[in-house]
Amino acid sequence: MSRSDISDNALKVLYRLHNNGFQAYLVGGCVRDILLGKEPKDFDVTTDATPEQVKELFRNCRLIGRRFRLAHVVFGREIIEVATFRGHHPNQDEEAKDNLSKQSDHGQLLRDNVFGSIEEDAERRDFTVNAMYYNIADFSIHDFAKGMQAIEKREISMIGDPATRYREDPVRMLRAVRFAVKLGMKISPDTANPMYELAPLMANIPSARLFEEVLKLLLSGQGLETYKLLNEFNLFEQLFPQLGPLLKTQNSRELAFIEQVLMNTDNRINSDMKVTPAFIFAALLWYPLEERCQQHMVEGGLNHFDAFNLALSDVLHRQIQRIMIPKRFTITVREIWQLQQRLPKRYGRRAFQMLEHPKFRAAYDFLLIRGQIEGGELLTLAQWWTDFQNVDPEERQGMLQALREKEGGGAPKRRSRYRGKKKAAQ
């Protein structure tokens, strides 16, 4: 490894820790990526200094986390994460006394602030490729878990007993999938086999934590491949329980729709175009929304408008129980869905007003994919909006006139409010 491959800010943190008598190592993904010839997205540091000692050394440091206490050293937009060497957990009787560690009845770590040596820290890491340490003192790499061997074999392998490690933190199953896709590696059989049985443990993970994990999985530029591997291990259904049952049938419209959306998203990300998580969530929950709407209409006798709005709130509420989608995204999800109901209504000024709607483009893209998958009138409607955007204003008026003639004169005239009030007064 060359120091030219390391962020200047990460070097500042490493040298300040080292010069103040502490051990300081780069660890995890940044070391792995440099050895693989990739450019790291972030740099993580580990040390024998406690979080409080790190904070004393850096004015630009903030301490975060309860379950897993960390120091973040902030340099503008770049954050260098500094973690203290983790140690092994004591038995349950000792846990109750020290208040530094705690496990659930399922074996999940609820609190993890037991500090130890670098050797213990390496044993606490998740995968062998993430247990390599770069020492700033002598520029050596310490490989405690045969990480280099795993890189040569192109294999993701768990450190320790996989089933136990998954029970400690079920998110490791998601990380195994993400690393396998990101690095172009396979998951070793010993690491993969317990995932089929333990996938339901994802229900124990706080919904706020899963939101960030889902963004890493589906907005990586390899979302489609990641989704397929999640499905293979029954993990996708744990993240989106309302959608899972709809994807069981091969060649279904639901399956084709999700794959097309993820493919389009990958293409946009890999072309350095903007994407919003709201579009992904709107797509993943669209068919559960349609199904729920039909249930309200059949069971409750509601009209489509009321059933749709009731279903919209139901579906989002249920999903937020599993993945805490921030309000700034759920608002956009709602708008994309509601505009699907308004896009067929094009008479008068409505078509022109729709073009000016701030979420029109997202709603149109959504409609276009639906049309490509479902065909029929939906595809015709999507093509109409495609043409309407690309012609000049005079031709737009002609398109609206042709639409009115085709559909029998257009929308019914509204009754004058003024005349109605005058008649009532008389």
| Positions marked catalytic | 42, 44, 126
What is the spatial distance between Cα 121 and Cα 69, in angstroms, rounded to a whole number?
A: 14
Nearest alpha carbon to residue 359 among 335, 340, 329, 387 = 335
What is the spatial distance between Cα 170 and Cα 239, in angstroms, rounded to a whole number?
A: 12
What is the spatial distance between Cα 274 and Cα 11, in angstroms, rounded to a whole number?
A: 31
DSSP state of 337: H
Residue 342: φ, ψ to 5°: -95, -25
The H-assigned helical ranges of 301-392 are: 304-322, 327-342, 350-355, 360-374, 376-390
Q: Please, are residues 230 and 177 in contact by the beta-carbon 8 Å criterion?
A: yes
Three-state secondary structure of 35-82: HCCCCCCCCEEEECCCHHHHHHHCCCEEEECCCCCEEEEEECCEEEEE
